[in-house]
Amino acid sequence: MKTRIIIIILLLLILGVLLTRNDERITNTLLNIINPIKQNYKSFTQEIEDKGHSYLFQQESIEKLAKENRILRKRLLEQTHYIKQVKDIYDVLPRLSKLPVKNIALTSTISYVKLNSFSQIMLTKPKGLSEKKIYGLMQNSVVAGIARLRNNQLYGYLTSDSKCRFSVFIGEEQAPGIAIGQEKNTMIVKFIPKWHKIKKGDKVVTSGLDNIFFAGLPVGVVTKVDTQSAYKVAYIKTYADIFHPKVFFLIQDARATLTEGFDRSVTKFNAPCPKLLIPEEMNLTAESNISIHETDTSLESNQTMPTVSSIPSRIDQTQEEVVLPETPEEHTVVESPKPKHVTRKQRRKKAVSQSLDLF
């Protein structure tokens, strides 16, 4: 141990003496030995420092990237859902032109009410709905179910649900009945009068009398007919696709508006009045427009009958409030015949004729 210490001290003394002599060869030799060692040391320490920084800031970078990933995923889901909605709406818009647009709103499905039931759905709520009213749902151009507003949420009951009820007509005779949802694509129509003849294959349409649907919307086809004690019952296969509830037409007002608020005292018709054509060659005057009732020859010579105008003497459709000149009345004087000798028999006939004319 002592020997090693002595050797190290001697080496240090020799090194010190050599350095103090300012010999360039010795200095260059020492620098060539020491510089690589210093460079290797600096690179080693820098590498350790970089690894330490990357390790320390790794959690922060992970959290930042995870947050950006969540935002991008959310936007992707929103865009995917938006594109799907646009596609569904554009699929049904061509059919909207055949319906009264003012009384219809578009609504789409949000979700099912229950996971194990495909007959009740939750819908987007248009403006101006009432909780006291039942609204009709149409899928393309066929009946899909009804909708009701409850607790500020719009619920839809498809044709397979027992809460879906509306009035219908069946067949060519238009037998009335009440359609009630049963299961899958099946509905039952009850309260059909027994005297109506309905058969398998008859088409079922809405009646429009319940203020839920428009009249004449397709519902389904009769598959089976039963007769009960007081009425007939028909089973129908519906047209609606209840397993793909996407976008619906919501009927807000199904009332008949053609004759609503009709009042003959204030209603004005815009139809043009027929124009009366009078040929010029007829050269009608005021006298020709007056129908004269001929007097009986048995009346006195000075008695005349009143005149009645059947056609106006002047027709003017372009000017208003035109005052027509009065046509002078011409009094014709009939000369009284010379008195003749009247016999008793002629006097009796004249008296009888005058009494008849006065009556």
CA distance 249 to 238: 17
Higher pLDDT pick, 310 / 100: 100
| Lowest mean pLDDT, pick from 225-229, 286-290, 308-312 | 286-290
Higher pLDDT pick, 315 / 186: 186
pLDDT tens for residues 43-60?
Answer: 888 888 777 777 777 777
H/E element, 75 = helix 58-96
Confidence check: pLDDT of 102 > 80 = no
Percent of the chain scoring above 90 in pLDDT: 31
Confidence check: pLDDT of 11 > 50 = yes
CA distance 258 to 39: 98
215: left (phi over 0), alpha (psi -120 to 50) or beta: beta
Higher pLDDT pick, 92 / 326: 92
**What does the pLDDT read at residue 35?**
78
3-state secondary structure 22-39: CCHHHHHHHHHHHHHHHH
CA distance 154 to 159: 16
**What does the pLDDT read at residue 65?**
86
Instruction: Quickly tell me which residue has 């004087």 as its tokens.
Output: 333
Most confident option among 25-29, 249-253, 296-300, 337-341: 249-253
The closest of 119, 120, 137, 130 to 152, measured between CA atoms, is 130
Q: For 101-251, CATH number?
A: 2.40.10.350
**What does the pLDDT read at residue 280?**
46
Confidence check: pLDDT of 354 > 50 = yes
Contact 19, 25 (CB under 8 A): no
Most confident option among 21-25, 272-276, 289-293, 298-302: 21-25
Confidence check: pLDDT of 284 > 50 = no
**What does the pLDDT read at residue 8?**
80
Contact 142, 219 (CB under 8 A): yes
CA distance 92 to 270: 36
Domain ranges of the chain: 30-82, 101-251
pLDDT tens for residues 158-180?
Answer: 999 999 999 999 999 999 999 99
3-state secondary structure of 190: strand
Instruction: Quickly tell me which residue has 């059919």 as its tokens.
Output: 95
Query: In which band, very low, low, confident or very high, does the pLDDT at 268 lie, cut at 50, 70 and 90?
Result: low
Instruction: Quickly tell me which residue has 């649900």 as its tokens.
Output: 161
